Copies of this chain bind each other. A is one copy, B any other.
Amino acid sequence: KDASQEKAKSANISDPYANEPERHPSLIVRSKQPFTAEPPLELLAESMITPTDLFYKRHHLPVPRIDLDTYKVEVNTSLHQDKKPKHELSLSLDDIKHKYPKHTVMAAIQCAGNRRDEMTAIKPVKGGKWDAGAISNATWSGALLSDVLAALPDIEILKKNMHNLHIEFVGLDQDPASATKYGASIPLEMALDPKNQVMLAYEMNGEQITLDHGFPIRAVVPGVVGARNVKWLCQINITGKESDSHWQQNDYKGFNPNVDWDTVDFSKSPAIQELPVNSVICVPPPGTKITTDDKEVEVKGYAWSGGGRGIVRVDVSGDGGKTWSEAELQTPDQPRNHVYGWTLWKAKVKVDASSGDAVELVCKAVDSSYNCQPESVSPIWNLRGVLNNAWHRVHINIA
């Protein structure tokens, strides 16, 4: 038995993916290594708060090993390019739990690649498969990053220069070959304002955050693309430039449909932070059969916009977008411009099942800045298959 344990242990050491946790069987696995998975849309629309084990997962690297005895989040500043980074703080999980007030915020997190499959259907893109379930909504509790930063000796310098500084989050997950850790950054201004509730989260949905969602600490940046909500946080670096990481510099960015891999210049586009307004029909699923007697169809879905812009209206159509009615909204009770939770919606949509053999259901949302969704995917297609917020369309059949 000892020998087999030794063997397993040595196998584990050599297998970077030996530390992956169990996952809920209902998740639709899109990639095993690194693990990415989304919940079925029908389940997603069922509850305002997505159950933790159904919350979508998008890892970039293997799930890291965590040793709580040595776990620290280090805070460093490197305000001057010519100087060495200054080590400011080393915080254990207990420090983060007990040195700062505990705050809770409801926030949806969405992957930039959510709804990528609709882009791929037009023209292939580089990026993993995603239907419309690469988004979920949870409550997050932890210490506000603004409270952690307020105690730094350099805080006044930081405030004065906030428009030129960035916060880099580094995770413990690393590339097995190069040992490069996952990293991403946000503008410092975002983190300094407590109203934005940028958080070092240790709880998700009222319980200790799970390993698959970033235990012990996940950086939660409400209103901002998933890629900046860094899991397994180990470093916070305040610097004069954005993160050098692949994911900040050469990945999550938007381009126009005529930019291809021969012509793309990643330095020309800004890194995605706030996401545009989006909405999706979760129920009924495509291909659902109705009869010629059906006069209306019950439709349910979600809507969300980045930057804390709440959803003010969801329009639904049962005739491919020729006529529209308004869905009933379930919106989070959060202050204007800080609406980070998603909106669930439902509607009884009139359909004409008497002619033809299919009906096209469509939804489109409007956020508090009155931004709306574009009609079709082609004009927003991009080579990485990100930022798809076109009208969502579901075809159902007439039996």
Contacts and interface: CB of A to CB of B under 8 A. Distances in A.
Given A335-B163, A369-B274, A387-B370, A258 B189 contact: no
Contacts of A336: 163, 187, 189
Interface residues of A, number: 46
A275 interface: yes
A379 B307 contact: no
B312 A270 contact: yes
B379 A321 contact: yes
A189 B370 contact: no
A254 interface: yes
Interface string A259-278: 00000000001101111110
A368 B274 contact: yes
B324 A257 contact: yes
A172 B343 CA distance: 41
A276 to B, nearest CB: 4
Contact of A312 (B269, B277, B313, B369): B269
Contacts of A364: 379
Contacts of A369: 273-276, 306-307, 309, 371
A376 interface: yes
- Residue of A315, A338, A374 with most partner-chain B CB within 10 A: A374
Given A258-B325, A335-B189, A379-B321, A372 B374 contact: yes
A92 interface: no
Secondary structure at the A interface, as helix, strand, loop or mixed, is: loop
B372 A375 contact: no
A379 B322 CA distance: 8
Contact of A324 (B258, B326, B368, B375): B258
B254 A370 contact: yes
A279 to B, nearest CB: 13
A256 B370 contact: no
Contacts of A195: 189
- Residue of A187, A256, A306 with most partner-chain B CB within 10 A: A256
Interface in A372-397: 372-376, 379-380, 387, 389
A325 B259 CA distance: 8
Contacts of A387: 370
A250 interface: no
Interface in A350-371: 364, 366, 368-371
Contacts of A78: none
Given A254-B366, A379-B364, A276 B371 contact: yes
Nearest to A325: B258
Nearest to A336: B187
Contact of A375 (B312, B335, B379): B379
Interface string A302-339: 00001101001101000001011110000000011110
Contacts of A312: 269-270
A195 B189 CA distance: 10
Interface string A143-182: 0000000000000000000010000000000000000000
Interface in A112-136: none
Given A275-B370, A372-B374, 6 more contacts: A257-B324, A258-B325, A269-B312, A273-B368, A274-B369, A306-B369
7 tightest Cβ-Cβ pairs between the two chains A and B: A163-B335, A274-B369, A276-B371, A371-B371, A375-B375, A256-B315, A256-B324
